[in-house]
Structure 1
Amino acid sequence: MRTVCNFYSYVLNRAVDISVVVPSVTCPESLGLGGITPSHKLPAKFPVLYLLHGFGNNHAQWLGYSNVEMYAEEQRIAVVTMSAENKAYADAGADDFMRFVDEELPEFVCNYFPVSDKPEESYIAGLSMGGFGALLHGITHPERYRAIGSFSGGVGINPVTFVKDPMGSKGEEAPLPHEYDLAALADDAAAAGRTLPPLYIACGTEDFLFQANVDFRDHLVELGADVTWDEVAGFGHEWRFWDMQVEKFLDWIPRDDVYAKMGKRPV
């Protein structure tokens, strides 16, 4: 079941578009296949993946260019996408997307949909700019997410300049603030004895961000973080890779919820 919402954000002071996918009865279930009796009664709220888009995209791209809705139905997990413009999911400038993603978005979703607000049932992942966003939020607030995923993540993004010069072609330069330096934030967490959630980091070998992701992976491993790394030969910065990776991520995430115990289902 897919729902597109346009709601007023009290953090951003404007209307925001999001999409919410909530598992529902599938066709095979309605036919009684697999010995399953179809029902709309839910045994519990669904675990949720907050899935962040990349530069130039919005809430619709993940659902339009990948099969994530099918994967979510198979795995019985809700998926939430949002329109974050090109703001890198940070609070650089006038928009506080840090607070919106971490506080207001879950508050809205968990109050209007059968979606869990438990940290142990909440996951965050994204592609490119969204990979940076997922890492930024997951490392800054490790207590809020069970696991983090980054696919072709823009691990070196500086939100201060990214909005105006995303590819660095205009020569925009500014110091990288500590609060957006992923390596420094991971250092802070380690120094404070805060355990990061398990991280799934993937990048194609032909991606222009490949070496940056390798370097960031190595830094996390040196800090003792629980990192699963997937590099795939021949892939660049492309949707076929991200579709592959979001399916792998949903297979990989640690889960203890009631739906996970049911196993995958046909759709």
Structure 2
Amino acid sequence: MAKIQCNMISYTLQRTVDIDIILPTITIPQSRHQDVQPVHHVYPQPYPVLYLLHGYGNNHKQWCGYTNVELFAEERQIAVVMIAGENKFYMNHPQDLFYDFIEKELPEFITQTFPISSRQEDTYIAGLSMGGFGALYHGLTHPQHYHTVGAFSPALAKNDISIEEVTRKALELQEKLPDIYIACGDQDFLYEDDLAYVQLLENQKVEHTWISEPGYSHEWRFLERI
């Protein structure tokens, strides 16, 4: 596995952005047993990719500090891209076009620089709390870009934007929505909102998976359970 810490200049944001990329490359056991199976750095096909969005008050570094994302990426042979999204809910702001950056420039940079796929069927987006809002917002407003959306203890509203309304508008356009994976502990302050949103998905027959665990609040330990 390779972990790449990258600081890129963004033409959308007109400043630098910190990004961590996990690539499931050669493992130590593979390098020690080349007599059984030769190894190399030539990739037969681009890796599928997960764009992973952090929560409010955190940054992209917390994923590797609090979860087993590196191990999961290696086991599942998927690249993971983690950006520093600050506290901006992954939306456009007057001086920071974060939404445009994630939808256009970030995948352009990632897929042109690393052996990572640009195909919809290989592209996933997920996030925690504020990042869960961001993942749903991006996945529902550009469903043609993503195979699956993951929302872990997601916030469902920010200012005048409601994920419920975004979902209804996407359904009115009769577009094929990405599969949605949503999870929340039953002691989380967002649990009732998330449960109500899951009911909307069920009523509208949107393909989704709902996971909850008793006794967990808005905490990192919940992610280790799911």
Given that 1:203 and 1:231 are in contact with CA atoms closer than 8 Å, whether structure 2 keeps it comes out as: yes
Structure with the bigger percentage of strand: 2
How is 1:67-86 mapped onto 2 (pairs within 5 angstroms)? 67-86=68-87
Matched residue, 1:148 = 149
**TM-score using structure 2 length:** 0.95
1:27-38 superposed matches below 5 A: 27-32=28-33, 36-38=37-39
Structure 1, gaps ≥5 residues long: 159-175, 246-267
For the 8 Å contact 1:127–1:242, the answer to whether it is kept is no
State the Cα distance separating 1:64 from its structure 2 match.
Answer: 1.6
Does structure 2 conserve the Cα–Cα contact (< 8 Å) formed by 1:195 and 1:225?
no
Q: Distance in 2 between matches of 1:138 and 1:27?
A: 36
SS at match of 2:212: strand
User: Which residue does the alignment assign to 1:233?
Assistant: 214
Aligned residues, how many? Answer: 224
Residue among 200, 203, 214 paired with 1:222: 203
Letter in 2 for 1:229: W
Query: 1:53, 1:244 → 2: CA distance?
Result: 18
In the TM superposition, what are the counterparts of 1:5-20 in structure 2 within 5 Å?
A: 5-20=6-21
Unaligned runs of 5+ in 2: none
Deviates more, 1:124-133 or 1:38-47: 38-47
Matched, 1:92 2:108: no
Q: Which has the higher contact order (CA 8 A, sep 6+)?
A: 1
Structure 2 counterparts to residues 114-125 of structure 1, below 5 A:
114-125=115-126
Q: 1:208 aligns with which of 179, 189, 201?
A: 189
Kept in 2, the 8 Å contact 1:91–1:97? The answer is yes
Query: CA RMSD, aligned part only?
Result: 1.4
Question: Could you tell me how far apart the structure 1 residues matched to 2:40 and 2:218 are?
Answer: 41
Partner amino acid, structure 2, of 1:202: A
Matching residue's letter, 2:214: A
Q: Secondary structure in 2 aligned to 1:204?
A: coil
2:170 is aligned to 189
Contact 1:18 1:59 in 2 (8 A): yes
